[in-house]
């Protein structure tokens, strides 16, 4: 139970941090914000790595492999496409 309460505390505090930061993102950057934060939500990848690499049963390895695949597409694609988009935002005088 204690572990759960600790995890819950972390969750609630992080939600507040998220609200504080994200409300300051200007509308111009909302699309990169979505794709960038989306890449961050691919953090589930590390759970996928643990599942795929711990060799418990064949079934968990298969699940893990698929999870690694999907999450990596999410992470790599998300960060790269955000980078590409942000490179386009320029000031008047270059």
Q: Which of residues 63-92 bind other proteins (CB under 8 A)?
A: 63-92
CB of 12 to other proteins, least distance (A): 8
Task: Please report how close the Cβ of residue 58 comes to other proteins at its closest, in angstroms.
Answer: 11
For 57, residues 6+ apart whose C-beta sits below 8 A from its C-beta are none
Exposure letters 39-68 (e unless 16+ CB within 10 A, then b): beebeebeebeebbeeeeeeeeeeebeebb
- The answer to whether residue 58 forms part of the interface with other proteins (CB under 8 A) is no
2 binds other proteins (CB under 8 A): no
Interactions with other proteins, residue window 38-57 (CB under 8 A)? 38-57
Both tokens of 64, joined, read: 């893990």
3 binds other proteins (CB under 8 A): yes
Task: Supply the minimum distance, in Å, between the C-beta of residue 5 and other proteins.
Answer: 9
């Amino acid at each position: 139970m204690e572990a759960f309460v600790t995890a819950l505390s972390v969750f609630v505090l992080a939600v507040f941090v998220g609200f504080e930061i994200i409300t300051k993102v200007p509308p111009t950057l909302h699309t990169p914000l979505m794709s960038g934060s989306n890449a961050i939500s691919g953090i589930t990848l590390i759970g996928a790595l643990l599942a795929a690499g711990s060799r418990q049963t064949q079934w968990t390895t298969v699940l893990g492999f698929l999870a690694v695949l999907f999450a990596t597409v999410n992470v790599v694609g998300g960060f790269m496409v955000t980078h590409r988009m942000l490179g386009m935002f320029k000031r008047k005088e270059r």
